Chains A and B, each alone.
Chain A
Amino acid sequence: MLSLYGKNISSRLLLGTAQYPSPAILAEAVHNSATEIITLSLRRETAGGKQGSRFQELIKTLDVHVLPNTAGCFSVKEAIITARLARDLFKTNWIKLEVIGNQDTLQPHVFALVEAAKILTDEGCEVFPYTTDDLIVAEKLIDSGCKVLMPWCAPIGSAKGARDTDGLRSMRAHFPDIPLIVDAGIGRPSHAAAVMELGYDAVLLNTAVAKAGNPARMAEAFAQAINAGRLGFEAGMLEPRDVAIPSTPVIGRAVFS
């Protein structure tokens, strides 16, 4: 079973909560897919206010783990302020740390990310950093106290699926004991299955589900694909070959032609 900062999680699908047609449909997506962790942006949804909103109250009633995030933060300071606010509002030490380097591509600012991760872990936060598949950045995040990493597999919302499979494979190989959750870039269930087959521990999605024609069904489709990918990885898959190999022995069989 997947364990994240000491909490056992049976679903390997994490869902974002933005852009759904309505909170009711979001709730349906969470239930249908048996998702146990949802993430929520604080910066954007508080409109400068420090008090919670009714939407946040609705989120709490879903009875799943809330992983607040710092989406939309561009500096260490902003991210830290938002993380502290999240901790108070949701009474959790979990924080999905995003420090964005580019407003347009939403690429992680990895230097600020490492700095913010260090400050927050020192304050007792359990940090889930949104990062790239760069191995040295990953090492620095682990040195800063992160016990989970969330690499992208393609830019946020791009729906492209894994852009650099070798990079992801090598990250998995370098950090065999750290839970790795693919965050961002997944478009369809087969993309999710593909990264799970590489041995990733879980997948976080938002747009691919929220913007689907039927978000609740899509969430279910992803849950199944993620399971299939995980089972495939655990069962041990064949390596591809260049030539056909018959599945039954040929030698000794009667040959009629």
Chain B
Amino acid sequence: MNKILVKGMGVGGLTAAYELFTRGADITIATPDNGFSSSASWYAGGMLAPYCESENTEQVIEDLGIEAMKWWDQALPGLVTHHGTLVVAPARDNAELDRFSSRTKGHKKISVKELADLEPSLAGRFQQGLFYATEAHLDPRHALKAVKNRLKHEGICFIAPDKDELQYDIIIDATGRARLPFDGELRGVRGEMLLMRTSDINLSRPVRLLHPRIPLYIVPREDNLFMIGATMIESESYGPITARSMMELLNAAYTLHPAFAEAEIVEIGVGIRPAYVDNLPRVKRIDNTISINGFYRHGYLLAPAMAIQAADMALE
């Protein structure tokens, strides 16, 4: 049997490793020095929102994304929350809501009352909304840890990087932005996010706040945590968050609910999303190396499909 080394512990690497494991392959996983925190997927929103994302992407994202929800459910039973997605806009940006509605499927317009029933914390704050009932979300950090633990539990070896790669027949490279210097087709799209804590607000599902220039979202997590994300900046710069981005993220939270003004900011994250020119991920094979990269903002949504492709390639 071929010995396969999977490099990278972000969503691309771990889903590929998991897919190969379920097919009985002989795999080893090379983990980066900084562990999870070096990958963009550690800072992701974790929304499984194929319909919302199709607002400005190609149809393939919707199709693969719908399959991805099933993959995650099977891999991590109970970790995916199927509460849908809520999309709202401040009153003056209602035109944005109409535009978003006309560009996406899988939703219905909901009234102020229906909105209050879904999210009592937002009662009366928005006059209308869009509800995508079949979308889902997961906590990326729980998901990554759960996949890793499962593989560890099954006896899969996790090794330090740069250990003798020659002993492997196939290498799966899912090292994300670390490939930027070597892959000229890749570019980086910087994203910044906040984790905030407040017990004054309860949300059951991700809420997207439309704005003509600065669309942002808020994803509820356990322990009264909320992830506010994420900026989209065409830059590979990995420096600390800028004041402007911080202001935009806080503004979004505050617009959704003024009680966020009193929330604690428990973490500020910066990640570089690797992307190709069409913003779609690619699985490429060169000699015995299969690379998975370019997830852009669709790591959790598209990683299962790429994992399947990479596993097919590795085992053919």
Q: Which residues on A sit within 8 Å (CB–CB) of B239?
A: 47-49
**A1-54 CB contacts (< 8 Å) to partner B:** 21-25, 27, 44-49, 51, 53-54
- The interface residues of chain B lying within 8 Å CB-to-CB of A51 are 237
Interface of B toward A, CB cutoff 8 Å: 56-58, 99, 103, 180, 186-190, 212-213, 233-237, 239, 242, 244-245, 275, 277-280
Residue in B57, B186, B242, B245 whose CB lies within 8 Å of A54: B186
Contact partner, A45, options B57, B58, B99, B235, Cβ 8 Å:
B235
Q: List 8 A-B contacts (CB under 8 A).
A: A21-B56, A21-B57, A21-B58, A23-B187, A46-B237, A47-B233, A55-B234, A72-B244
Contacts of B235 in A (CB 8 A): 45-47, 49, 53, 55
Q: A132 contacts the other chain (Cβ, under 8 Å)?
A: no
- Which residue on chain B has the smallest CB distance to residue A207? B212
Can you name the residue of chain A whose Cβ is closest to the Cβ of B185?
A54
CB neighbours (8 Å) of B99 from chain A are: 211
The residue of chain B having its C-beta at the shortest distance from the C-beta of A213 within the complex is: B103
Asked if residues B237 and A157 are in contact (CB atoms below 8 Å), the reply is no
In the bound complex, do residue B212 and residue A47 qualify as a contact, i.e. CB atoms below 8 Å apart?
A: no
Give Cα A51–Cα B180 distance, bound, in whole angstroms.
Answer: 15
Are A24 and B277 interface neighbours, CB within 8 A? yes
Kindly report which residue of chain B lies nearest to residue A50, judged by CB atoms.
B237
Residues of B contacting A213 in the complex (Cβ-Cβ under 8 angstroms): 103
If the complex has contacts A21-B56, A24-B277, are A45 and B233 also in contact, measured as CB distance less than 8 A? yes
Could you tell me the distance between the alpha carbons of A48 and B237 in the complex, rounded to whole angstroms? 8
A213 to B99, CA, bound (A): 10
B234 touches A45 (CB 8 A): yes
Residue among A22, A211, A213 with max Cβ neighbours from chain B (10 Å)? A22
- Given A58-B187, A211-B99, are A47 and B277 also a contact pair (CB < 8 Å)? no
Choose from A27, A47, A53, A207 the contact partner of B187 (Cβ within 8 Å).
Answer: A53
| Given pairs A24-B277, A53-B237, 4 additional interface contacts (CB within 8 A) | A21-B279, A23-B279, A47-B242, A51-B237
Question: Complex formed: what's the CA distance from A21 to B58 in Å?
Answer: 8
Contacts of B186 in A (CB 8 A): 54
Partner of B56, one of A55, A58, A72, A211: A211
Q: Which residues of B contact A49 (CB under 8 A)?
A: 235, 237, 239
Say which size band chain A's interface belongs to. 20 to 34
Contacts of B233 in A (CB 8 A): 44-45, 47
| A47 neighbours in B (Cβ, 8 Å) | 190, 233, 235, 237, 239, 242, 245
Alpha-carbon gap, A45 to B232, bound state (A): 9
Minimal beta-carbon separation of B55 from chain A (angstroms): 9
**Given A22-B277, A53-B187, A54-B186, CB of A48 within 8 Å of CB of B236:** no
Interface residue ranges, A against B (CB under 8 Å): 21-25, 27, 44-49, 51, 53-58, 72, 157, 207, 211, 213
CB distance from B98 to the nearest CB of A (A): 12
Taking the closest CB of chain B, its distance from the CB of A90, in whole angstroms, is 14
- A53, B279: Cα distance in complex, Å: 16
Q: How far is the CB of B214 from chain A (nearest CB, A)?
A: 11
Query: A46 to chain B: which residues have CB within 8 Å?
Result: 235, 237
Give A25 to B190 CA distance when docked, in angstroms: 20
Q: How far is the CB of B274 from chain A (nearest CB, A)?
A: 10
Contacts of B279 in A (CB 8 A): 21-24
Interchain residue pairs A-B with the least CB separation, the first 3:
A54-B187, A55-B234, A49-B237
Q: What residues of chain B lie closer than 8 Å to A22, measured between beta carbons?
A: 57, 275, 277-280
Is A58 within 8 A of B277, CB to CB?
yes
Chain A's nearest CB lies how many Å from the CB of B224? Answer: 30
| Nearest-Cβ distance from residue A70 to partner chain B, whole angstroms | 14
Query: A211 to B186, alpha carbons, bound, how many Å?
Result: 24
Residues of the B chain whose Cβ atoms lie less than 8 Å from the Cβ of A55? 187, 189, 234-235
Closest to A215 in B: B56
Chain A residue with Cβ nearest B236: A53
Closest A-chain residue to B58, C-beta based? Answer: A21
Assembled-state Cα–Cα distance A51/B190 (Å): 14
Q: Do A23 and B277 touch across chains, with their CB atoms under 8 A apart?
A: yes
CB neighbours of B180 from chain A (8 A): 54
Closest-by-CB residue of B relative to A22 is B279
In the assembled complex, the Cα of A57 lies from the Cα of B184 at a distance in Å of 11
In angstroms, Cα B277 to Cα A27, docked, is 10
- Which of B58, B188, B212, B275 is within 8 Å of A157, CB to CB? B212
Q: In the bound complex, how far is the Cα of B280 from the Cα of A143, in angstroms? A: 49
CB distance from B4 to the nearest CB of A (A): 30
Complex formed: what's the CA distance from A46 to B189 in Å?
11
Contact B188 A48 (CB under 8 A): no
Chain B residue with Cβ nearest A49: B237
Once bound together, how far apart are the Cα atoms of A144 and B300, in whole Å?
Answer: 53
Once the chains bind, are B187 and A48 in contact (CB under 8 Å)?
no
A22–B278 alpha-carbon span in the complex (Å): 5
Complex CA distance for A25 and B278, rounded to whole angstroms:
7
Q: How far is the CA of A47 from the CA of B180 in the complex (A)?
A: 18
* A24 CB to nearest chain B CB (Å): 4
Give Cα A83–Cα B157 distance, bound, in whole angstroms. 53
Complex Cα distance, B98 from A211, in Å, reads 13
A207 to B242, CA, bound (A): 24
In the complex, how many angstroms separate the beta carbon of B51 from the nearest chain A beta carbon? 15
